Structure 1
């Protein structure tokens, strides 16, 4: 299928630059797949659409302050480094800018020397493997020197770094936030639990695939970058119980969805599992794991809008996106959300 089949017109001013003061006050477009209807609500209304026995699946990954600014040891030239994932002890896959100036053997100094990195390997699309040297604990050094890696379409500075974390973020390791979860507050999650909605956590560390555009004309030729996931035995057992009892599995975000679908594809049921997934979900893929999806509005021609289209149908989704533009919804990471069931 041609990548242009997933294109739509998006005015630049609809790209949200800052988060709303109240996480749950964002707008919510509700899509009923069976009746092909569209409704307009606020995210705080989500409890009206979830019922006792449903299970909400949240990705508890925590974003690293993964953007570092340093200088080449030999020339003093400025270098930006974005951590993607750890490949070995003190060794990381990263993106660097300008990539052409960082070759194998290049050493980069950060801060006043608290952290140094040596390039030990090169990859496509500006990717590099670097080995870090430091004193103390790496995450503490990173907290003092690193910045939150906001997506390139966000031009504003973030005054509170925690606004690019979900309220339930726990497991350090992501290069980007699972943004569908940014709408939840602790109070809203407690309200859902009182209603009898089960809450299950999994982890998928968001990596390079989030930053890599689809650069081929044919969707089938696009290659996804692998990301690490884990699902506990307790979480798998709860998910299986919900399925058996007739409850709905409501996935929060495309990252949770990809994890659940990977496990269902590989095992035919939910089970304790961890590993790397490069699953690429696009029509006519039939999703097996989920009954509902909470997600943000995604970039034109992105793998994420393809995943949503596989769940709800391309024409229905593109029509909803066009309505979102007409209704002046806010798009992308800090934007509004949709609930599809």
Structure 2
């Protein structure tokens, strides 16, 4: 049984959400958008879920300097020393590793639960129950335990996890992991759906800090060498300088590539809650409430309006102006104070290409 006094929530709060431009911007990424998915921000929802499992003094947040003020605004109960600002962005492996080093220093017996601040979850009580089961599985041995979502359609925008047999007959729904699969083409995604033993990869992991630290050393030794230096420097005069130096020379690695995909001691607990990474406007449309014509319309502020004739299956968000549409279908139309985005829903993942173009044109005010 996992000891609640040793449960730590490691919240990774980075990423600009470029596929949700123009609402998600560098200064206000999707996790800090109000009225985006629920009345509170995705970040605040993440903290509330973590508080179902542990105390606020055992919630560690790894972020970038630009977001610290937003974190303090939306989660004032988090201790300042538990908000760790990365000197530069270096992808998720180093972010998870940095948070793990801090937790290991605070509590060598810790059980670490990774949370991502930009995911949407429904049924919070079920979420907490599944995370507790994952924590109990992690305590049974040297295991890295993930929570996977049973696919409901052939999704090509998420990675998949292939599972095998149950760990044993006495542990409930805990399965051994056979392999990770990268984001598949549609045909392969359909095969995964039909086989029935594949799950969507949520990135939610639970494991002992000892097992996670050993996994970094075994599967990403170069990265681990830097993390060891950071760990030894923590609470000392060279802490910040050491972190800065390691970040400047570190590889840009995702945690999936650095650890999870290589590990041979993975387990999976099937989720019994709703989950979405809200990765692009197509996903936002799928999650949105639809009118009789299949349109998901959201109005922000007091000035936005929409009037439509023969308009079907569109995602429409208005903030400052009136949007009028005639004879349109399957479009994304997003209006903000300074920008209007219009694109086919099926090309929603390409919005990040617009962000790349704006960077090339040095349109900093639009990023």
TM class by shorter-chain length?
A: under 0.3
Whichever structure has more helix as a proportion of its residues is 2
TM-score of the aligned structures, taking structure 2 as reference length: 0.21
TM-score of the aligned structures, taking structure 1 as reference length: 0.22
